[in-house]
Amino acid sequence: MLGLPAHVRACLFDLDGVLTQTAKVHAAAWKEMFDGYLRERAACEGTAFVPFDAVDDYDEYVDGRPREDGVRTFLAARGIRLPEGSPDDPPESETVNGLGTRKNDLVLRRIREEGVEPYEGSVRFVHAVRDAGLRRAVVSSSANCRDVLVAAGIEDLFDERIDGLVARERRLRGKPAPDTYLEAARALGTEPARAAVFEDALAGVEAGRAGRFGVVVGVDRVGQAAQLRAHGADVVVRDLAELLESQ
């Protein structure tokens, strides 16, 4: 009934772009933050301003990664290296953590102003998973995961939540490392081989493949089916409801 292998007993869902329509909010916030920083830097150095691409740069360097990893990875691609700073750096600090704080402030503002909408097809699928007796966890690099779940009205659909706060507390490496997904499987009492991973991010499907999960489902929201498969997805759908409709 679920379009999954019969041996799967647990489902591990990414948040942004899989369950909720917040990936576009994050992409816009990353662009606003990076463009502001890059424009200031270009003006100081007398160089050309090259903006952040909210599709290609977002997919390649920041989507699915912990916030500081996203800052560090994108800046490295531009040949920029900043001091790490500390997690309590204010948004005006020219550090990895400072830029991460600036981006997070922008995301929270956008969520307050625009709200959070879940994907209806994903909600249908999660209800079907619950009705079938499978265990469920949300696995997100976001420190705002619980707030987003509550705002979307879907927090009660999940047994466990492994998010950015949990990852920091337990010192789990972020995606594309499999640590957070492995921790979710452990929390649900399930072997990775008997769990399914649902991801829209290239780093996320890499994490699923690295963790040797039973099946990795790529969710293609932006026309990157081939890339999702190349990075580790066993199956690619445009919406999770397709898995129900395929039966």
pLDDT tens-digit map of 212-235: 999 999 999 989 999 999 999 999
Catalytic positions, please? 14, 16
| pTM attached to this predicted model | 0.81
Average pLDDT of the chain is: 95
- DSSP secondary structure string, 35-92? HHHHHHHHHHHT----PPPTTHHIIIIITTS-HHHHHHHHHHHTT-------TT--TT
Contact by Cβ (8 Å): 66, 145:
no
**Helices 96-114 and 145-152: crossing angle, nearest 10°?**
10
Please determine, for residue 2, whether its predicted confidence score (pLDDT) is greater than 60: yes
- Which residues 6+ apart lie within 8 Å of 180 measured at CB? 139, 141, 162, 166, 167, 172, 173, 174, 207
pLDDT value for 221: 92
Express each pLDDT in 98-129 by its tens digit.
Answer: 999 999 999 989 888 888 899 999 999 999 99
Please determine, for residue 246, whether its predicted confidence score (pLDDT) is greater than 80: no
